[in-house]
Amino acid sequence: MREVAKTSGIRLLTAAAMSAVIFLGLVLQAQADDRRATIGDSAPIARQTKEGASLFRANCSPCHGLNARGGGRGPDLTSGRWPHGATDAAIYRTISQGIPGTEMPANNFEDSETQAIVAYLRSLRPSSESVSVGDRIRGEGIFVGKGACSGCHMVRGKGGALGPDLSRVGAARSESYLIDSIREPSRELSLGMIDPNNPYGNVLVYDTVTVMARTGQRITGIAKNEDTFSIQLLDTSQQLHLLLKKDLESVTHERKSLMPVYTEQVLNDAELQDLIAYLESLRGRQ
Ligand code: HEC
Ligand code: HEC
């Protein structure tokens, strides 16, 4: 009995000694933390960047890609180019107010959260592969020549209207999105015009639409506007038809692109690179 009491007494003593050591350690650690904080500690900044990274992953990476390198519908944010303003204040404003007329939405974050996202974006190194290897001038030649892209796409007021205007596509999209647009156009359809006078209107998708009129006439094209009663259809020869739905047998959204698939047989990889270099150079007026 005594033996047991003695050993447990010793155990109690050692336990007390150990807690004292741990306590002392904690105090010293806290003092060290204090000292580091007062001489400009980087820990709070690291914490802010980390919070920004997780907010970014949840809210922004569906469009801007993992690590902000682009990928979905949004541009690479690590390229060092900021057409919408490069200062912290400008980036803050872009995040909170969005960019009207584009797919970049406004956001409702706390002040500190927006700051954390800006800090995160600032912490990223430019990706080395963000510079396209193609030749922009040759790319422009393919765009208006062999590729016949300008038949459907407007650049600086010249070209067709079946596809979206590409005058700013280099600022708006990532390289991987541009490549997909050419090799697999139906994979991610572009969104249509957002009517500036009707911000709550339906956003049209640029898919192929086929209508059958009651007269038996059949028209395929792109819907430039559509509501419950009518549809404006730009057909493949770029004639605009204003149609009332009561005159139509059916309106079919095919959920696929009107743009042809440009396979490697049509445009080889070198030509694709040239085209991408040209598209990336289209950044609108600056
Ligand atoms: C629905 C897609 C989408 C989402 C979600 C989105 N963005 Fe964007 N963002 C875009 C597009 C598209 C652009 C390019 C607009 C343009 O110039 O045409 C853009 C542009 C930007 C720019 C301007 C870059 C420059 O070129 O100056 C910043 C900064 C930005 N986004 C940050 C964010 C952040 C941070 C989030 C998350 C809080 C976010 N975006 C969420 C689509 C998106
Ligand atoms: C027959 C018409 C037609 C031709 C020819 C055509 N396109 Fe398109 N393009 C479209 C349509 C329609 C869309 C929208 C649907 C979609 O996302 O594919 C589109 C979408 C795009 C987009 C995505 C734009 C965005 O911001 O989402 C890019 C980039 C593009 N085309 C580039 C090209 C290039 C480069 C060529 C030539 C090699 C080309 N297109 C030839 C009709 C065309």
DSSP string, 210-232: EEEETTS-EEEEEEEEE-SSEEE
**What is the Å distance from ligand 2's center to 57 Cα?**
29
Per-residue pLDDT of the chain (286 residues; tens, 9 = 90+): 444 445 555 565 555 555 555 555 554 454 444 444 444 567 888 899 999 999 999 999 989 988 898 877 899 999 888 889 989 999 999 999 999 888 899 999 999 999 999 999 999 987 655 566 899 999 999 999 999 999 999 999 999 999 999 999 998 898 889 999 999 998 888 876 554 445 555 567 788 999 999 999 999 999 988 888 999 999 999 999 999 999 999 999 998 999 999 999 999 999 999 999 999 999 886 4
Same fold, 43-129 and 135-185+260-281: yes
User: Which CATH number applies to 43-129?
Assistant: 1.10.760.10
Q: Which ligand 2 atom is at minimum distance from the Cα of 185? A: 18
| Ligand 1 pocket member 135 (CB < 6 A) | no
| Ligand 2 pocket member 151 (CB < 6 A) | yes
| Ligand 1 pocket member 173 (CB < 6 A) | no
Q: Which residue has the tokens 């430039």?
A: 224
Q: Which residue has the tokens 């569906």?
A: 62
Q: Which residue has the tokens 């010293």?
A: 28
| Ligand 1 pocket member 123 (CB < 6 A) | no
Domain ranges of the chain: 43-129, 135-185+260-281, 208-253
Q: Which of 63, 140, 150, 153 for mutating ligand 2's site (highest number of atoms within 8 Å of CB)? A: 153
Query: By alpha-carbon position, which residue is closest to atom 43 of ligand 1?
Result: 104
pTM over 0.85? The answer is no
Tell me which of 2.30.30.100, 2.170.120.20, 3.40.50.1240, 1.10.760.10 is the CATH number of domain 208-253: 2.30.30.100
User: Which CATH number applies to 135-185+260-281?
Assistant: 1.10.760.10
Q: Which ligand 1 atom is at minimum distance from the Cα of 117? A: 35
Q: Are 144 and 134 in contact (CB under 8 A)?
A: no
Q: Give counts: helices (H), strands (E), the chain.
A: 9, 7
**What is the Å distance from ligand 2's center to 135 Cα?**
20
Distance separating alpha carbons of residues 219 and 164, to the nearest angstrom: 20
Q: Which residue has the tokens 């809210």?
A: 59
| Ligand 2 pocket member 167 (CB < 6 A) | no
Query: By alpha-carbon position, which residue is closest to atom 7 of ligand 1?
Result: 104
| Ligand 1 pocket member 116 (CB < 6 A) | no
Structure tokens at 25: 């350690």
Distance separating alpha carbons of residues 33 and 4, to the nearest angstrom: 43
| Ligand 2 pocket member 162 (CB < 6 A) | yes
| Ligand 2 pocket member 185 (CB < 6 A) | yes
**What is the Å distance from ligand 1's center to 37 Cα?**
34
Query: By alpha-carbon position, which residue is closest to atom 15 of ligand 1?
Result: 172
Give residues with Cβ within 8 angstroms of 35, minimum separation 6: none
The residues that bridge with 223 in the sheet, in sequence order, are: 233
